[in-house]
């Protein structure tokens, strides 16, 4: 399955150092954990599992960070596409609040990793969650009250306050602090490079196939070579749907652009992350290089997969919306535009954990708008499960849980 089309911002940015490269897997190996997938989820798993003293092999079928990570727009938020209020209605208070709290904790863990390893790929930003219309204000205010009730930092902004900070008008918004923006490819490659320096064996251009399940492990193959692993982690993102289709998940097409560098952000209060209540929603952020990333306009994934060239027209639509919101940015043009496969689940939760058809294997499927945070959460849960640490919340994210479509708000 083709994961993306177009011209990608992160691939074209100048980097401080040449990209580290890794060999093809050309030998038989034995390890505690084999991680399949060299995106941000696989990198986080490698980092945490190695910290536990396990022998780890990470194998990527292409190059590190060039799957869905390459088109990750890098908004890192504890809030989900589905509001806490909606989660409480569908999951119950305890599970819903727990999910938002572990997302907050995982976001803080991402910040800690970035700082401790000096990756310089993540910067803390506030978020602005806009009411798209007057009709959305009661729902948004209810969500604000819910966040306040359970201790999540949130401020209410009315139309006048929004107008004093931004050049556009909206009836209301929730303003939160503690979120972040990330350069996902730099973060992933830096994390993998660090893991490799500590003894994790990393391979590129090395697709893996499952051969045999055994009571004590899994036999895998890469060409003529054999890998014997006690545990296998599939961190293949949306590609996991080609291996075992989740009835509770759906794949759509999402679009994004990156503009030329802006001359200033005087009209963009604190360079916050911006998103809205409408579905499909519009979202935007700035980058350290002064670009603006704006994305959304999701639509069903065609039966034949991504449609080449569709990202060009959608990119023009996104740019028009940016110019409407920020008139001083009307001279900015599209630098890069792309389309990508995007996955979401019916109940709004990621899929994390084992599967009865794949003994001693774990899947990390951080589907949804806060996929990077859920990838961190998934890496934490899978590491605990492999280490024999009980996770009472693991069942919430089970691949075999019952899901049903519920409306987002």
pLDDT tens digits along 39-92:
999 999 999 999 999 999 999 999 999 999 999 999 999 998 899 999 999 999
Quick check: 126 pLDDT over 90?
yes
Which tokens sit at 102?
A: 């572990």
CA dist 78 and 194 (Å) reads 26
CA-CA-CA-CA torsion sign (407, 306, 247, 214): negative
d(CA 113, CA 109): 6
Res. 364: pLDDT tops 90:
yes
Whether the link from the prior residue into 280 is cis, omega within 30° of 0, is yes
CB 366 within 8 A of CB 308: no
pLDDT tier at 406, thresholds 50, 70, 90 = very low
pTM (two decimals): 0.94
**Section 252-278 average pLDDT:** 96
Say what angle helices 40-51 and 371-386 make with each other, to 10 degrees: 30
How many whole angstroms separate alpha carbon 166 and alpha carbon 159? 10
Q: What HEC string does 30-96 produce?
A: EEEEEEECCCHHHHHHHHHHHHCCCCEEEECCCCCCCCHHHHCCCEECCCCCCCHHHHHHHHCHHHH
CA–CA dist 376, 42 (Å, integer)? 10
Length of the chain measured in residues: 409
């Amino acid at each position: 399955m083709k994961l993306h089309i177009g011209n990608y911002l992160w691939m074209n940015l100048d980097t401080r150092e040449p990209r580290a490269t890794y060999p093809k897997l050309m030998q038989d190996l034995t390890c505690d954990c084999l991680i399949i997938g060299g995106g941000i989820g696989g990198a986080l798993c490698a980092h945490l599992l190695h910290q536990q003293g396990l022998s780890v092999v990470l194998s990527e079928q292409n190059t590190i960070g060039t799957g869905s990570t390459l088109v990750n727009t890098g908004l890192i938020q504890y809030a989900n596409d589905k509001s806490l209020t909606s989660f409480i209605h569908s999951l119950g208070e305890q599970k819903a609040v727990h999910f938002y709290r572990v997302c907050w904790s995982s976001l803080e863990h991402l910040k800690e990793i970035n700082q401790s390893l000096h990756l310089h790929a993540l910067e803390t930003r506030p978020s602005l969650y806009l009411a798209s219309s007057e009709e959305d204000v009661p729902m948004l205010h209810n969500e604000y009250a819910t966040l306040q009730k359970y201790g999540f930092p949130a401020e209410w902004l009315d139309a006048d306050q929004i107008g004093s900070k931004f050049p556009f008008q909206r009836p209301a918004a929730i303003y939160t602090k503690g979120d972040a923006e990330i350069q996902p490819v730099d973060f992933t490659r830096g994390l993998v490079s660090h893991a490799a320096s500590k003894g994790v064996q990393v391979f590129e251009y090395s697709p893996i196939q499952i051969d045999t399940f055994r009571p004590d492990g899994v036999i895998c193959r890469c060409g003529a070579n054999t890998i014997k692993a006690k545990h296998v982690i599939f961190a293949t993102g949306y590609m996991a749907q080609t291996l075992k289709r989740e009835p509770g998940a759906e794949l759509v097409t999402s679009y994004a652009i990156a503009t030329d560098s802006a001359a200033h952000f005087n009209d963009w209060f604190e360079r916050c992350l911006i998103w809205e209540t409408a579905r499909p929603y519009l979202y935007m952020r700035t980058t350290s290089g002064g670009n603006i990333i704006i994305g959304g306009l999701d639509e069903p994934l065609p039966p034949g997969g991504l449609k080449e060239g569709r990202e060009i027209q959608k990119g023009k639509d996104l740019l028009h919306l940016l110019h409407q919101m920020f008139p001083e940015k009307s001279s900015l043009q599209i630098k890069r535009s792309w389309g990508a496969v995007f996955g979401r689940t019916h109940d709004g939760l990621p899929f994390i954990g084992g599967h009865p058809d794949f003994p001693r294997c774990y899947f990390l499927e951080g589907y949804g708008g806060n996929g990077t945070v859920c990838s961190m959460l998934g890496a934490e849960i899978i590491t605990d499960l492999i280490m024999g640490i009980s996770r009472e919340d693991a069942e919430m994210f089970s691949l075999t849980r019952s899901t049903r479509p519920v409306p987002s708000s």
